[in-house]
């Protein structure tokens, strides 16, 4: 308990007077947009071409806020005697952001890099039913996803690039060897042919 009455009021007024003389740090949103971190969790964007409808994201989602519909299509065989193949075609991919808790599990478990974090955050609405966004909106958000940071110069090369480079070098070496053998064979045939042109 204070020694004299009104001590708390005096302290409060002193704080008010100190802050009144300082410059305001409030940003004038929406006229001034905030500077978000490059990997901020705004919304989840969909890269539809990479989605194979494996349903892994929907199964692992703890809130069950991902809705996926698909159908199967028959892909005719390209070679004679081969069997026709079937593939899943994505019909609907929707996320209910009213249920989503932004844990990022769906982005992490996607084996084909079809889901990404976008820093987009301006999707508020007055109707909760409009927070379920379909694949067209998720696809549009894909273009707001920032590029990944550059790799460390001293880091090891990714295994995929190393294997691809080795395969390309091996193929180039085999083609060069085949070309040299073909040129050597043609040169030997030319040397064996008679000079007068008779067979």
Binding site residue list: 51, 54, 57, 61, 100, 103, 106, 110
Best CA proximity match to 106, nearest among 130, 128, 138, 136? 138
Strands (E), the chain: 43-46, 66-75, 85-96, 115-118, 132-133
Residue 119, both tokens: 């820093």
Euclidean distance between CA atoms 174 and 36, whole angstroms: 51
Phi, psi (degrees; rounded to nearest 5) at 164: -65, -40
Show binding-site residues for [4Fe-4S] cluster: 51, 54, 57, 61, 100, 103, 106, 110
């Amino acid at each position: 308990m204070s020694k004299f009455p009104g001590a708390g009021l005096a302290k409060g007024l002193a704080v008010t007077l100190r802050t009144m003389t300082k410059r305001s740090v409030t940003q004038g949103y929406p006229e001034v947009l905030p500077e978000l971190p490059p990997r901020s969790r705004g919304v989840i964007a969909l890269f539809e071409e990479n989605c194979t409808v494996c349903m892994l994201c929907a199964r692992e989602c703890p809130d069950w806020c991902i809705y996926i519909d698909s159908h199967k299509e028959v892909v005719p065989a390209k070679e004679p005697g081969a069997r026709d193949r079937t593939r899943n075609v994505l019909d609907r991919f929707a996320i209910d952001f009213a249920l989503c808790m932004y844990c990022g599990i769906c982005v992490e478990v996607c084996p084909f890099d079809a889901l990404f974090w976008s820093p987009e955050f301006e999707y508020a609405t007055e109707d909760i039913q409009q927070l379920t966004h379909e694949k067209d909106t998720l696809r549009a958000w894909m273009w707001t996803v920032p590029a990944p940071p550059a790799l460390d110069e001293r880091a090891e090369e990714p295994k995929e690039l190393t294997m691809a480079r080795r395969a390309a070098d091996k193929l180039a070496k085999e083609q060069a060897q085949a070309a040299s053998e073909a040129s050597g064979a043609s040169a030997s045939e030319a040397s064996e042919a008679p000079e007068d042109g008779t067979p």
